Structure 1
Amino acid sequence: MWFKNFIFYRFTEQQDYTQEQLETAFSEHLFEPCRSQELSRFGWVAPHPALDEQTVFASSGAYLITAQKEEKILPATVIKKNLNERVHQIEQEQARKVYRKEQLQMKDEIILDLLPRAFSKFQQTSALLLPRAGFIVVDSSSHKGAEELLNLLRNSLSTLPIALPETQQSPGVVMSEWLQQTSSFPAFTCLDECELKDQTEEGGVIRIKGHDLHSSEVIAHLEKDKKVTKLAMQWDETLSFILQDDLSIKRVKPTDELTQTLNEEASEDPLVRLDSDVARLALECQRLYPQLLEAFGGQIQR
């Protein structure tokens, strides 16, 4: 078990949750399958199959939680085809035009008719709560997905005082300087992939992969007012990832060294393995988060 993405949120007020408190709060917001006339459902599930109905897994002061979303799949082309057929039938049989307001009403009726026969798509999003360390990390590839989980957490707890971290220096500017100066912040090493964005209104994007990022060609782009928006990094010989200029982290992968350590620590018991993985994930996040902020001048306190 390892997160593929890191989106960090800092607590703006000190929190001290307990597993029992979280379990109780989650009990009113458990995931339930969509009813026949519902488009989607979202709620808490067990963060590991071996946990049965337990919705919070605690390890080393960290709490692993998982939310599940079910969405009914109704292709727009299917809805449009059914709507066109109904409109055509009415116009032929009643010799009148079907206007927009009536079409919208008919569209809603078609959706209700199709929902019981629609397939479902399921998606899970996990997060690690580290209240003593002062932050939450969400395993989501988008802020929208992260906010869905956090809104559910906020509704469950009635309050959730968090905010995205802000740094003294612009991550895009600093990462651009790393490439121009052929150096980076200690513990962070630039790899061979990045994305550059033009700062003009047109906002053209250049994606580079498998290339020396300190080459004269890349430097020339940076000197023409382009800034780094994504940069492949290796951190402390522990993790490799894509760091974005909003401080979100994608495509997180343990290095070979860490993978070997995780395998050596692995247990055949799934819950013992989960405890080991969560403890290690919490440890690495607690090391990475402050170093990430420090690399960009430290956090702005508000």
Structure 2
Amino acid sequence: MWFKNLRFYQFSETFSLPDDFSEQLSEHSFHPCSRSDQSSFGWSSPFGADNEVLTHSLGNCWLLCAKREEKVLPSTVVNAQLDEKVRQISEAEGRSVPRKEKQNLKEDLIHQLLPQAFSRFRQSWGYIDLDRQIIAIDESAANKAEDFLGLLRGSVGSLPVRPVSPSDAVETYLTAWLQSAELPNPFEFGDEAELRSPQADGGIIRCKQEDLTREDIQAHLAGGKQVTRLGLVWQENLEFIIESDMALKRVKPTDRLLDAKDDLVDPSPEEKIDADFALVSAEVGLLFDDLKRAFG
């Protein structure tokens, strides 16, 4: 288990977990879709499907895992059957089928086909850091992170959080750093960036595996382009891309961090999760502290 993406949310007022937190989670635990359900979303054990424990804590950090099942119906199958149904009605009744009736027919077809659909499963990981009063979620898309928060809000009743963001636009910081070729400690430049013109019809420059301080990139910055994605390395331990909404993408530990990690011999699932979460919560917590200082 490693958080490949990071979206940070800050509590707007002091938050503590209720005494019956585990029981509240169990009331919203994951259940497979019934024959008529299109999707299902609920809490799952971090230790695997065979385990009933829905959270794991280390100090004041609490790990959570949400599971989603979605029934997949190929649109080509649905549309082909819908076209055939519309054709039959048109021939039998000698009339065209209006749009609203087509929509109702489509919904009926989906309901009939659901029991035959195959399921797609995905997990969403996140953890609550009560010391820092934040929630960190491993999701690349903001709407998926909001789904996770919505499930947690529905479980505990209230969740006063907002996305972590600086007072000025993130692009302002990223552009200034790249223009000056200087970063706040303990960050270093990676080898990837995206530069965009502020005009709607302006150009976009994407750099990969490049020296970001080279002259032609500086020329684009001098011409008014802004940095909207920037590759960074933190403490020589983590590499990631930071985006204009403060999301961290493609987070991965460096060889330096992995070499320093103690590997367990034949760990149980519980021991593996415990060791991984200890590493994630420690590193991500310190990274958040440095990001907060870097963005003022």
Q: Percent identity?
A: 37
- Cα-to-partner distance string for 1:10-59 (whole Å, 9 max, x where unaligned): 111112226x6321111110111111111111000001228711100111
5+ long unaligned stretches in structure 2: none
Aligned partner of 2:267 in structure 1 is 269
**1:2 maps to 2:2:** yes
- Cα-to-partner distance string for 1:33-92 (whole Å, 9 max, x where unaligned): 111111111000001228711100111221110001111111222211111111111112
Within 5 Å, give how 1:27-46 maps onto structure 2: 27-46=26-45
Closer/same/farther in 2, CA of residues 30 and 87 from structure 1, 3 Å limit: same
Aligned partner of 2:181 in structure 1 is 182
The Cα of 1:238 is off from its aligned counterpart by: 1.0
TM-score, normalised relative to structure 1: 0.93
Closer/same/farther in 2, CA of residues 261 and 99 from structure 1, 3 Å limit: same
Partner letter of residue 195 of structure 2? L
- Cα-to-partner distance string for 1:110-137 (whole Å, 9 max, x where unaligned): 1111111011111100101111221110
Equivalent-residue separation in structure 2 for 1:130 and 1:136 (angstroms): 6
- The SS at the match of 2:20 is helix
Equivalent-residue separation in structure 1 for 2:16 and 2:96 (angstroms): 63
Cα contact 1:197–1:206 (8 A) shared by 2: yes
Q: Root-mean-square deviation (CA), in Å?
A: 1.5
5+ long unaligned stretches in structure 1: 298-302
Cα contact 2:46–2:273 (8 A) shared by 1: no
TM-score, normalised relative to structure 2: 0.95
Partner letter of residue 143 of structure 1? A
Select between 137-146 and 88-97 the one with higher mean Cα deviation: 88-97
Within 5 Å, give how 1:232-243 maps onto structure 2: 232-243=231-242
Aligned partner of 1:294 in structure 2 is 293
Equivalent-residue separation in structure 1 for 2:230 and 2:204 (angstroms): 13
Equivalent-residue separation in structure 1 for 2:50 and 2:146 (angstroms): 25
In the alignment of these two chains, the number of paired residues is: 295
Within 5 Å, give how 1:147-166 maps onto structure 2: 147-166=146-165
Aligned partner of 1:300 in structure 2 is none
The Cα of 1:243 is off from its aligned counterpart by: 0.8
Within 5 Å, give how 1:78-93 maps onto structure 2: 78-93=77-92
Equivalent-residue separation in structure 2 for 1:77 and 1:265 (angstroms): 48
Cα contact 2:192–2:230 (8 A) shared by 1: yes
Equivalent-residue separation in structure 2 for 1:117 and 1:272 (angstroms): 38
